[in-house]
Structures are given as C-alpha cells and as structure tokens.
Structure 1
Amino acid sequence: MRLLYVFGLILAVRLASVFVVKTYFVPDEYWQSLEVAHKLTFGYGYLTWEWVQGIRSYVYPLAIAALYKLLALLQLDSAQLLVLLPRLLQALLTTYSDYRFYVWTGKRKWALFLILVPWFSFYTGSRTLANTLEASLITIALSYFPWHGEGTAYLWPAAICCFLRPTAAIIWLPLTVYHLRKSRLSVLELILKRFFVIGLLVAGVGIAIDTYWHGQLVVTPWEFLKYNIFNNIGSFYGSHPWYWYFISGLPTVLGINTLPFIFGLIQTVRKTEKFPVSKQLLIAILVSLLVLSTVEHKELRFVSSLQPLCLYVASDVLSRWSYKASRTKLWLAAFFILLLNALPAWYFSTIHQKGPIELMPKLRDIAQDYRDERDHRANILFLMPCHSTPYYSHIHENVTMRFLTCEPNLKQQENFKDEADRFYDAPMHWLRSHIPVHPRTALPSHVVLFDSLGDKISEFLTNYKLLHNIEHAEFVESRIGKSILVYQRLQSGEDNAFNRKEFQEAEPAMEPEALPSENLFN
C-alpha cells in the first residue's frame, strides 16, 4: 500500500507538469519527435537535415506515431490531442523512472522528496525530448544495476539508451567496468553471454527500424557520433568554454539541490567506505562531465541525465544526516529546498518563453478558417530564428508554411551562411529577393515575427495589418524581442493605417517578451 501511495504521489506531480508547463524550451521537443511522428502518420510535416543525413533514430518518434495512428483510426486526431497525448506518455515514463529511483535508494524519504521537487525535472519531465527519455532510461537502468549482488537486467534499458543517445555510453563505461570487476562471473562469460548478446539484439532491432524508415542501411549511433562529435557540427549552433558544465550547466540543472549534492560529494570523498554506491556514481559523473566538456556545443539538457546520479548522492548523505539532525533543522532544510525549486519551476513553466505555445492555437485557427478573396487557404511565413516555434504537429492542417532554415555547413563551403543569417544581415534585401509582391495575393497571407524585427521590415509590412500581439519573455536578445507579432495580408479595399488603428483600439498592445537562448536547433 505504501508503494502504491508513493507511485500515486509521483504520478500526480508528473501529470500536473503536463498541464502546468506551457512554455518553450528547445526546438528538439517538437522537431525531433512530434514533427517526425506527424509526418510518419499523416504524410506531411518537416524533416530537418538530421533526418536527411540519417543521424537520428526513428525509435522514439515511432512510439509517438503509434499514438497518432490510434487517434486517427478513432477519428480523434485533433491538434489538441496530438499535442497532449505524447506529453502524457512521457510523463508516465518519467513517473515510472522516478518510482524506480525511490526503490533503488532503499525507499528513503529524502530520495522521494529530492526526486519530486527539482525545478528542472518538473520543467522537462513531460517534454518529448530525447534527453528526457534518456534520463528516464538511465534511472531505470541504475535501479536494476547489481550494486549489491548479481544481475544484468539493467543492460536492456542501458543498451536502448545508448542506441538512441550514443553519448549516454559515457555514463555506462565506468559503471560496466565496476560491474565486471565485482561480478562472480568471469569477465569473458559476462561480456560474451550478457553484454554482447543484449547489445547485439538491441542494435539489430534499432538498425532494422532505422534502415526501413530511412530507406537505406544506416547505423544512426555511428552517424550521430560522426557528425556531432568527430565533425563537430554542433559548434555551428554555438559553443561554450570547456568548464561551462562545471560552473554553470550542471549547477543550473540541479538548482538549489547543488548544495546537498556538494555536501554528499565532500562526505563521499572523505568517507568512501560508507558511501560505496555514491563513490561509483561520482566517478561516472566526473567522467561524463570531462568527456562532454571536450565538445564545443553545450546545452543544459545534455547533462540532465546526470541529475538522478547527483540526487542519489545527495539523498544518501541527507538520509544519514537526518538521524542526528533536529526536527526543526529537517523541516527548515526541506522547506528551503522546496521553495527554491518551486520558484524557478513556476517562472520557467508558466512565464518565460511562453509565446510560441500561445501562438500555435491562433495559427491553427487561421489555418482552419482563413480564406482570401480568391478563396486561397493560409500561407504562413515565419521570419524568426529557425525552429523558434512548433510546426505542423501543433497545427494539424496541411497549409503552406515556410521558416528561415539554419542547416550547418555540411558541404564545407567557404564563407558559408545559413538562410537565417543571410536574412538578418539584410532583411529587406532578402524579402525583395525571395517574396513576390505582385499580385498582392502572391504574398504570404500571414507573417510571424518578433517585435524587434518590425521596424527593419516596415516597408514590407505596409501590405499587412497586425492581427495578434503575444507576450513571450521579459528579456530581449539579439534577434528576439519581447513579443511575437502575427500579421495578416490586407485584402482588396482594406487600408493598412485604419486597420492598425482599429486593432490597437480593440486589443491594446501588450508589453513584448523574448525567445530562448537555446532557440537554435541541434
């Protein structure tokens, strides 16, 4: 009964995140999962260059596509359910992984508390990111790891995780070495009969799935490593100094939980014999951070899979500390940790970068209902940094849409610039070169942009009236304003100035807002 209660509590928190989190984080949540699944199921959608080059696996999108297919068969494939159900699926997997974390830690109260309260887990635990899936699979695998006996059940989720996200192998390298050293089985028997067999089966199934859907023989883990690690393509989307994960990346993901983690780290180093599991986890964490630090392109989500390891170390030492601490100290520590996780969870889940999520239902209505004077459907142009919003998966209407692409320099051209860079270098020149203006109906019916761009293309916007002004974020960045604007093309007889005045009287302009620093696609 106690375990059922614990599972219900975890489930309630993870389901709450599905409905509370209404903000944009990174493009991969949509463009590497939902968008791919939508194209697989309904025949239209956008596949980014990664899918053309074969560096992404279809395994995760296929799970979402199965949901989409079921909805289509039941004639329930509304855009709302296409957005909601994949997040519910991921929330359920996160719930199970959190439950396994509680079991793995010996059903400690501190472990349950620490796995429930982190702001980053609430913020990302229901997002359809491969990194969220990776963190869940790693946690499940660690809960089956033979810390105090024999067993190889952990190899299945670990192998799946490494196939989908090859960089996850960094975590497992020191842990499998530890397993080989402590196992009563011979190293040769363990490798040949367990590691090799399970790895071969998982890889075989994964390669078969990817080969079928990519249309040619492809080993996606190898392609992933070749492009992102060996060819360093990721640096095209930004780079950080080698120490970024140590001083910013991991501390940001952990938030206030960094303090009990550091406490656990110090205690483990001082008394390794009392914390044998934490010792091995710290080795895995250090190896992972060192290896990941050699890659120029860095993001918070790339170390999210280390969070459960860090939380184990923290819970291990806090549980021992609790035996001697007073009730007052215990409640103060818990309240402090809860409050300083709740505040960022609320802010980032409901306020920061909310524009794209509020935008898509408005574009969906436009896609469904709009007809111009020639009875043409909507034709939407996104003049924003590439992948700044979700796409067809959130609109679920086969209308014409275009955005500024940002494919990397795959052909090693000199002085290469992607389409988005070329546009922002000279916005009006790009528009004159790419957008026909005669007749007026040749123009896109709707244009979506950040307010910071408006003055730079005011000449182009004389053909449009302002339709929506959507708050986005509080901080302005180079190509991003504080709000997202939606313009609709003027029809015959409409006057731009009159319609702008009419719009301002009907809907006063809101204070603008901004898009994420991680809005470039990787």
Structure 2
Amino acid sequence: METIRSRLKLVKQAEPVRLRRRTSQLYSREDARHLGTGVWRVALCSVAFRLANCFLVQTSFVPDEYWQSLEVAHHMVFKYGHLTWEWKAGIRGFSYPLVFAFMYKILALMNCDSVYLLIWLPRITQALLAAFADVKLFYLVQTLENSHVSKWTFFCQLCSWFTWYCCTRTLTNSMEATLTTLALFYYPLPGSTTHSSKKYLTLVALAVIVRPTALIVWFPLLIHHFWQEDNKLRFITHHVIPVGALTLMSSTLIDCLFYNKWTLVQFNFLKLNVLHGVADFYGSHPWHWYLTQGFPAVIGPHLPLFLHGCTLASKRYRVLLVAVVWTVLVYSCLPHKEFRFIYPVLPICMLFSGISLAKLKTWRRVAAYGLLGTNLLAALYTGLIHQRGALDVTGRLQMLCDTAIASAAPQPDLLFLMPCHSTPFYSHVHCPIKMRFLECPPDLGDEGYSDEAEQFFAEPLRWLGLSFPSRSSLPTHLVLFDSLEKEISPFLEGNKFVRTATIFHTHFPEGRVGGYILIYERHPETDRTHYSDP
C-alpha cells in the first residue's frame, strides 16, 4: 500500500514537469513557425528589392566587370572575342567566368543567345545571390542579438548606396562580398547557433579562388578562430587542409584545362602584383586615401552610425571590427587603390550601423529618413546616369551589326579611340564584326613592348597617319569621347567621317574621359544625318 502511495506521489510530482515540457515544446514550435514566416518575408522582400536593384543599375563602373568575367565567358563559349593581357599572363582564374560560360552554353544550345539574355542573365544571378546574402545577414544578427537589431541591420544593408551600385554587377569583388557575407553566417562568433567550420571555410576558399585578395579580409578572422579552437590540430587536419586542398585542386584543374598548360593562378597573381608591382601601372594613391576618401565614400551616410555602433557593440564583435580596420590598413599599404577593393567589409559595417540605429530613440526616425534619402539619391544617380554611355554605345553598335546582316551590306569595321577597356566588347554586341581598341598592357619585360593607348594620346594625328596610310585601310566607324574630337578633327574631315551619334556618358568628365561618346561613320559619297540621344 505504501509503495502504491509513493508511486502516485511521484506521478503527481512529474505531471507539472511534463506539462512544462509540452508547453515549452509548443512555444518552441510556435516560435519556429513565426521565425520561418519572418525569414520567408525577408527573403521575398530581399529578392524583389535586388531584382529591382539589378534593372535600375544601367551604368558602367570599372572595366573588370566585363573584361574579367563576361568577355572571358563569351570567348569560352562562342570562340571569338578578346582576352586581356591578364589571361595571357595567367594571373586570372577561369572558375568565376566558367559560371557565366555555363549559362551562355545553355542559352546557345537552346538557340536563345540573344544579346539581352547574355547581358542580363548573369546580372540577375548576381542579384539573387546578393539577396541570399542579405537574408543570411538578417538571420545572423537575429540569432546574435534580437529581431529589433536584425531589422535595422537589414534596413542599413538595403539602404547602402555602394551595395546597390555594386552587388548586381559581374565583378569579382561583388562575388567576394557575397561569399564573405555567407561565410560570416557560419563563422563561430560567440552566441552564434549556426556555426559550421566546414561550411564557412568552404565559402572562404571559394572567395579566395574568385579573388585571392579575399584572404586579406579573412586573415584576422581565421587567426581568431584558430586561437579560440580547443582542438587546434583537429581544426587544421579535419577542416582547413581538406577544404583548402580540394578547392585549390579543383580551381587548378579548371585553369589548366582552359590554359592548356600547367598554371597556378594564385602564384602568378602574387608574383606579378606584389613582387613585380604590376598594379602600380594602373595608378597609385597616397597611403591615407582609404582613410580620407575611399572608406568614407564607400560607407557613405552610414559613417556616423558605424562609428556610433562601434562604441555600443559588445566585445564579441571586436574581431569583426578588427577585420574591417585590418583590411583598410593593408589596402592602404598598397600603391594602387580603388573603392571596390574594400567593398567586402561593407556588410560587416552594416551590422554596427544596425546596432546604432536600434539603440537610438529620440533621433532614430530622423536618422532613418536621412539615411534613406541620401543613399537613394546617390544610388539612383550612379545607377542610372553616371557613366551610362559605355553601355548605351554598345547597344547602338549592336544595331549596326543587325542592319548589316539584314541588308547584306559590308560588315562594319570599328575602332575605339578611347582609353583601353572603356566599354564592354563582344559580350554586349554578340556579333563577330571587326572591332579593335587601343591596347595598354603593362611592361612585363617582353621584347618589343609598346603601350598603344599611350602612344596614340601622345600624338593622335601622327598615330592615325601611320596606322592608316591609305583610305582603303580606314575603319568604317570610329568611337571616341568628345574631349578628343577637336584634336583629331583634321583626320575626320579629311577622310569624310561624319558624326552619326552623340551619347551622354557623364556630368563629370575627367582627363581623357569626356562627357559624351561620339560615333563617326565614314561615308564619302553622301552625308549622313546627325542624331543625338534625347
């Protein structure tokens, strides 16, 4: 009897525990359901936003977004085009262009390889990857902080004018920034519940394959993880070495296949850019450029919030702040500097900006509206107006190709009298017409080296006279900036070249880059009517 009573007592005591467990399970399921719904909303919002972002960026930024990706992919699939000196020197890897080449090949097999799809499909892919990175950033901050901070971080990420300007472009820097954000989601930050060493190391390795300089951003983060790891030997042997070896072998195999010889791209990149200082050929800046111009311009109106967020963030984010400072300082030591080089640290900066906005109370609404308004103006201007002529002119040239094919007329022969790589090439024309531009490879010690672009701009009329001694050798069309027009006007008039298009490029012409791009056509028999873009 006593035994029965004791058992009943134990059952009664256990009931509340079971009830609490069931209640806890119900609450956790409900929280997971709400969390899942919230993530889907964020995902749909981000995808819609980045697709709009993609189609509202209609300007050019730097030549690499075409010449190191789409032009290479076009050459791989369609077997015509131009590969720059980097591919001849073996300092670029084929892994990244191979992604776009795969798309181009599918389009070609389906007989759907229109210029429109060749241009926009890679950019739509970049936009979807950028949206995926936005969602991961939101979810990461939600697990580290709370939904309040994650919403404001997401707001800051979407507001960033430079992210808008870059994330949908086919730049290696854009892919590097996307992969860095995805890797941070799995990085072992204190309090993170999504930690996976293999996943984040794989993403870091892919970023390094796409652009070797990605290792600069991740160096302090990798050192910090190694220092915090309890079993350091296991971390090296079970994670770092297998992931690094597999990705390096895969990329090397791809490069050897397309170079048709043994090529270690990462070594060639280091040798030419660091040991031989080839990057200096494209310009140098003072050591403080990133501190006084580069970083403030890239982070834009977020800068006060970022600085405020750095003072509020907990110690667990210190390693992220170190990564930002380290990256800016390392790039400051290199002579050649560009805004896009520090783009991969921008998502990290958005975390600190989000923390700042979440902590603000009285001034939060003013700060949010100010952030939105200033970034919106910069994003729309740089995305729709500034340097759009480089893309608009290729559309006009593609029409020339269509006209020649439809009328069975002689194929156009185009010469770009512009700073080298000023416009996209066959990836945006997709027609095997004859096109030529002024080349400007750096001096790699080759015999007979010459910088064609430098020789032309030093004495344009003399260069034209030597290059085209007879009228039969003249091109049918010339493409040039308006800043050059007056200087070569004797050549244009003497050889019956008539301006047929005036295309707006920028409100801020600088040096050899003019405000308008001009197309001249040689038509000795009859004058052509001049027209301008509205």
What TM-score comes out, normalization by structure 2 length?
0.88
Contact 1:371–1:378, Cα closer than 8 Å, also in 2: no
Q: In the alignment, does 2:454 pair up with 1:421? A: yes
Which of 448, 457, 464 matches 1:431? 464
Distance in 2 (alpha carbons) for counterparts of 1:13 and 1:70: 27
Give matches, 1:449-488, under 5 Å. 449-462=480-493, 463-488=496-521
CA RMSD of aligned residues (A): 1.9
- Unmatched tracts of structure 2, length 5 or more: 1-36
Distance in 1 (alpha carbons) for counterparts of 2:406 and 2:490: 22
Q: Which residue of 2 aligns with 1:299?
A: 338
The Cα of 1:417 is off from its aligned counterpart by 5.6
Structure 2 SS opposite 1:336? helix
Distance in 2 (alpha carbons) for counterparts of 1:413 and 1:53: 15
The Cα of 1:30 is off from its aligned counterpart by 0.5
Contact 2:503–2:532, Cα closer than 8 Å, also in 1: no
Give matches, 1:303-318, under 5 Å. 303-318=342-357
User: Residues 6, 399 of structure 1: CA spacing in aligned structure 2 closer, same or farther, 3 A cutoff?
Assistant: same
Contact 1:281–1:313, Cα closer than 8 Å, also in 2: no
Structure 2 SS opposite 1:143? helix
Distance in 1 (alpha carbons) for counterparts of 2:393 and 2:174: 24
Contact 2:59–2:387, Cα closer than 8 Å, also in 1: yes
Distance in 1 (alpha carbons) for counterparts of 2:533 and 2:160: 36
Which of 230, 241, 251 matches 2:296? 251
Structure 2 SS opposite 1:83? helix
Distance in 2 (alpha carbons) for counterparts of 1:125 and 1:237: 24
Distance in 2 (alpha carbons) for counterparts of 1:36 and 1:303: 24
Q: Which residue of 2 aligns with 1:349?
A: 383
The Cα of 1:333 is off from its aligned counterpart by 1.4
Q: Which residue of 2 aligns with 1:196?
A: 241
Contact 2:411–2:433, Cα closer than 8 Å, also in 1: yes
Which of 154, 157, 180 matches 1:112? 154
Q: Which residue of 2 aligns with 1:397?
A: 431
Q: Which residue of 1 aligns with 2:24?
A: none
Larger Rg: 2
Contact 1:355–1:473, Cα closer than 8 Å, also in 2: yes
Distance in 1 (alpha carbons) for counterparts of 2:114 and 2:165: 25
User: Residues 65, 421 of structure 1: CA spacing in aligned structure 2 closer, same or farther, 3 A cutoff?
Assistant: same
Structure 2 SS opposite 1:488? strand
Q: Which residue of 2 aligns with 1:518?
A: none
State, as a whole percentage, how many aligned pairs show the same letter.
Answer: 39
Question: What letter corresponds to residue 258 of structure 1 in structure 2?
Answer: L
The Cα of 1:397 is off from its aligned counterpart by 0.2
Per-residue CA deviations over 1:382-403 (Å, capped at 9, x if unaligned) read 0000000000000000011000
Structure 1 SS opposite 2:120? helix
Q: Which residue of 1 aligns with 2:253?
A: 208
The Cα of 1:231 is off from its aligned counterpart by 1.6
Give matches, 1:94-493, under 5 Å. 94-106=130-142, 107=147, 108-148=150-190, 151-152=196-197, 153-184=199-230, 186-268=231-313, 275-319=314-358, 321-322=359-360, 325-326=361-362, 329-370=363-404, 375-411=409-445, 418-439=451-472, 442-462=473-493, 463-491=496-524, 493=525
Contact 1:164–1:221, Cα closer than 8 Å, also in 2: no
Q: Which residue of 1 aligns with 2:34?
A: none
- Unmatched tracts of structure 1, length 5 or more: 269-274, 511-522
Distance in 1 (alpha carbons) for counterparts of 2:316 and 2:88: 42
Per-residue CA deviations over 1:19-42 (Å, capped at 9, x if unaligned) read 111111000010000000000010
Which of 116, 140, 158 matches 1:80? 116
Q: Which residue of 2 aligns with 1:6?
A: 42
Question: What letter corresponds to residue 239 of structure 1 in structure 2?
Answer: S
Q: Which residue of 2 aligns with 1:494?
A: 526
Contact 1:278–1:316, Cα closer than 8 Å, also in 2: no
The Cα of 1:242 is off from its aligned counterpart by 0.9
The Cα of 1:216 is off from its aligned counterpart by 1.1
Per-residue CA deviations over 1:446-471 (Å, capped at 9, x if unaligned) read 10001111111112212211111101
Q: Which residue of 1 aligns with 2:3?
A: none
Q: Which residue of 1 aligns with 2:71?
A: 35
Per-residue CA deviations over 1:194-249 (Å, capped at 9, x if unaligned) read 11111111111111111111111111112111111222111111110111111111
The Cα of 1:315 is off from its aligned counterpart by 1.8
Per-residue CA deviations over 1:122-177 (Å, capped at 9, x if unaligned) read 11111000000000000000111011365302101011111221111122111112
Distance in 1 (alpha carbons) for counterparts of 2:207 and 2:533: 47
The Cα of 1:266 is off from its aligned counterpart by 3.3
Distance in 2 (alpha carbons) for counterparts of 1:103 and 1:436: 65
Poorly superposed stretches of 4+, deviation over 4 Å = 371-375
Question: What letter corresponds to residue 256 of structure 1 in structure 2?
Answer: P
Distance in 2 (alpha carbons) for counterparts of 1:242 and 1:80: 42
Distance in 1 (alpha carbons) for counterparts of 2:169 and 2:411: 31
- How many residues matched? 486
Q: Which residue of 2 aligns with 1:520?
A: none
Contact 1:232–1:295, Cα closer than 8 Å, also in 2: no
Most deviating of 30-39 and 155-164 = 155-164
Contact 2:412–2:476, Cα closer than 8 Å, also in 1: yes
The Cα of 1:294 is off from its aligned counterpart by 1.3
Structure 2 SS opposite 1:203? helix
Question: What letter corresponds to residue 47 of structure 1 in structure 2?
Answer: L
The Cα of 1:373 is off from its aligned counterpart by 11
What TM-score comes out, normalization by structure 1 length?
0.90
Distance in 1 (alpha carbons) for counterparts of 2:167 and 2:115: 21
